A and B are shown apart, each in its own frame.
Chain A
Amino acid sequence: MNQLQIPLETTKLENGLRVVVSPDRTAPVATLGVYYNIGFRLEPRGRSGFAHLFEHMMFQGSEHAGKMMHIKLINSSGGVLNGSTHYDVTNYYESIPSNAVERVLWLEADRMRALKVDDENLRNQRDVVKEEVRVNVLNQPYGGFPWLDLPPIAFRNWHNAHNFYGDFADLDAASLDDVQQFFRTYYSPSNAVLLMIGDVTPDEGFALARRYFGTIPPGPPQPKADVSEPLFEGVRSGEVEEKFGTLPAFAVGYRAPERRTPDWHALAILDHALHGGRAGRVYRQLVLEQQIAVDTAGGIQYPVGDLFDYNGPTLLASRVLHKPEYSSEQALEAFDAVIDAVCQHGIEQDELEQVKVKFRSEYVSSLEGGQGPSIPRYGLMNYLACFTLFDNDASLVNSILDGFLQVTREQVRTAAQRYLDPYRRAIVFRKPTRKAAD
């Protein structure tokens, strides 16, 4: 198959802000985003949840656009907006009719230049964030499983291991000074990339970027958090109570290799053979054939990211919800048999070919989607941002597939043996406190 040829042009302003434009005139709309190279992994020690709380503060007002103005100006231009906090980046994005491109850049530049928030805004968003944690984690069956459960067991470095959504005590301790300090430290042009995807030409886009972002001071060099993590020694395991659901569950995490290495390509293909839908070995064996499990899923950075949008130690994670008539030991044994088979024999040639076609197909779809049809090409924007911030090469979006499509059976087997080591991994059991009324 031919290599992808997604058009893109890049530039860097004098203050260090990188700018990427990927023009497409299919429709008179555009998706714009600013990504900052700061995520919950990188937030300061003792300030769990701060990167995410801060993300909320970025919608609370800037020098020329006070509280609610940002949201009002985007919605009233016919667009939608959001932001999200990840391991290593925080993003802010808008999808809009393309006649609002300049307005959106004005807003994004204004809040990069001068956040303007007060104590009342902070109290308000602290309350909102607590309700977010309740609705997504504390009041949901299997909430936070395993994305909040696995890291504290798997990792030893606070940066990789802490509660990313934030302990309520830490959220309560956050002050307005912390907010301004965090803003000055991380939210500068030299720590960011601006993306414009859709109905905007590189010439227009670059000129507007210079006009609105060009005069923002570059900011101090960012402190580099030490996120290094020793490799696992032995099996690390733990338990978390499940107070709503009645199915026992467990999740297993293996350390994944560094991004953009041959092992990473091979493990990604193996991951797809294991976790790729109903044809994947884990689902097929545990749910469809042996019928021990009710649901299985997994992946590199599962379930809060994918293969491309992280930049530090990460896990290949697998999650299994199983029937209560099987013990945790029995269910884990069945899972281990699936892993053992790929370590012993690798995967079949036909299976490898199938996985490569599916991998390619899913990659192409992920460029167009990612956040549903109201955010066209979120996925493309996300990859361009990560390849710029982590690899300094946006054009990887067109070439990154090649490495996966060249993986051999032998490489897959070697990766299985090297990374899916039953004696070096983390396991968390989610234990129901009540039984189903039957």
Chain B
Amino acid sequence: MATVQMPNPFAQVPSLGPERPVVWPARTHRKLANGLEVVLVESHTIPKFTGELYFRSGNAAAAAKAPGLAEITATVVRTGTEKRSSRQIEEDLRRIGADVGTSAGADTSAIGFNGLTEFSTDLLELVAELAHQASFPADEFERERRQMIEGLRIARTTPSFLASERMRRVLFGAHPYAIIAPTETQVKEYRLGQLVEYYRAYYTPSNALLIAVGDFASLQMMEQIERIFGSWKAATVPVVPDTTLPEFHGRRVHLVHLPESVQTQLVVANHAITRKHPDWLRLALANSIYGGAFNSRLIINIREQKGYTYSPRSGVHALRQHGYFSVNAAVRNDVVAASLTEIFYEIDRMRSVAVAEDELSDARTYMSGVFSLGLATQDGLASQLSTVYLNELPESELETYRQRVRALSAADVLAAARAFFDSANAQIIVVGDRGQIGDQAGLFGEVTEYSAEPE
């Protein structure tokens, strides 16, 4: 009996099929009479909608008066309005199956929301109340103040937080971006009047951007938003002045002593660029090759070859006025020096040797592929839209992104690494037990030691 010899399907890696077109859904973009900018995108994957009401001011806007003021303001915003008590807000949200989250970063404050489409009017009315009729109850404020202090105490025993806090202080000096969290004393000094003042100054429609994505018809949703947010009064907003940043001449080591630490958290960082900078995409690609993807040089080296660490990562971080590049790894105590050696070796290789064509092509495909994953869900779309509209990027950013990534060359990557991976002047943050680390850190620059407690 003759047998048919089947070819072994495992003999060769299947090639990629033809790409199916990536089509970004249409945006409905309008500025209301009171200055509120609205961006809507339909996505009918689930019977819900999600979004953010952003204010283009955050902790940096109030840093001179009180660090963290935007954050405590956002927290207290959700605890009462002229019409509803704290408990009623929470129960009303549950009644309509919705979530609201209020938060603030360096450059923005935000009221995030998601809920069932069938209750969209109720949810938007509540968001509008929080945006311009928050009542700042004194007892809620006092409770949240204490909550914030306790949260900070826990954060200051968390290695990754301590490393970020020190890194931002080092990189940004006198600029408000230097402060990622207030001290306990500063929190104790907050006055309710400061929160109200901040809210009146910055929670205004001309300072706001409303993004919503979901299972709705955009035209009707826009009408609804105009009706609900139209009565909100316009007001002008103070501008945050820029401040010059520290300049670095050589590497320095900043060691935060965390007693009994059984691992050492490393951060290597330097100044980079904002999201609007023309070199952003080049830098993002260089970062992806260096340490931004699983299949990147840093991860292959210190995780997959050497086993020093579980989750090393590098990233390019854009704030509104400045940006920075950072490398993070939590490593075994006895390989602090070995890990830093490899981190700098890979940085220097990026700066000195042009990336090979196949590695470059893989990284370009990675970046453009991951970008398209964001199309599939409401949260993914909302996140991409936030990047574009908060940073005031061109409207075509989403449609042209993939083709711009594909146009990048090895020379672009080399130029970006030389310009923005500042090997010679990198600042090294080391968080761990000084007794365990010993003299390893001092091999990389003059060491300044800090306590985990804030000064």
Contacts and interface: CB of A to CB of B under 8 A. Distances in A.
Interface of A: 24, 26-29, 63-65, 67-68, 71-81, 95-103, 106, 109-110, 113, 123-132, 134-135, 138-142, 198-199, 211-212, 243-247, 276-279, 284, 287-288, 291, 294, 321, 323, 353-355, 357-358, 360-362, 364-365, 367-369, 372-377, 436-437
B63 interface: no
A131 B294 contact: no
A27 B22 contact: yes
B309 A102 contact: no
Contacts of A294: 147, 150-151
B346 interface: no
B21 A365 contact: no
Contacts of B369: 77-79, 96-97, 100
A68 B17 contact: no
Contacts of A367: 46
A103 B331 CA distance: 34
A17 to B, nearest CB: 15
Contacts of A140: 158-159
Given A103-B16, A135-B311, A279-B93, A368 B377 contact: yes
A212 B11 CA distance: 11
B114 interface: yes
A46 B251 CA distance: 48
B330 A99 contact: no
A350 to B, nearest CB: 8
Contacts of B21: 28
B90 interface: yes
A288 B158 CA distance: 25
Give the 9 A-B residue pairs with the shortest CB-CB distance, closest first. A78-B369, A361-B97, A127-B307, A373-B380, A76-B362, A28-B20, A376-B376, A27-B375, A244-B157
Contacts of B295: 68, 71-72, 74-76
7 contacts: A80-B370, A81-B294, A98-B20, A100-B17, A102-B14, A357-B96, A377-B376
Contacts of A63: 10
Contact of B373 (A277, A353, A373): A373
A217 B352 CA distance: 50
A29 B10 CA distance: 24
Contacts of A132: 310-311
B117 to A, nearest CB: 10
A244 B262 CA distance: 12
Contacts of A72: 295, 362
How many B residues are at the interface, by size bracket?
35 or more
Interface in B376-395: 376-380, 383
Contacts of A134: 262-263, 310, 330, 332
B94 A368 contact: no
A357 B95 contact: yes
Nearest to A438: B184
B16 A247 contact: no
Most A Cβ at <10 Å: residue of B151, B294, B311: B294
Contacts of B116: 357, 360-361, 364
A246 B453 CA distance: 13
Most A Cβ at <10 Å: residue of B47, B87, B361, B370: B370
B98 interface: yes
Given A99-B16, A140-B158, A368-B46, 17 more contacts: A27-B22, A28-B21, A64-B11, A77-B16, A78-B372, A81-B294, A96-B369, A102-B14, A102-B17, A106-B13, A141-B157, A211-B9, A244-B157, A279-B87, A279-B90, A291-B143, A436-B153
A300 to B, nearest CB: 19
A128 B307 contact: yes
Contacts of A80: 294, 370, 373
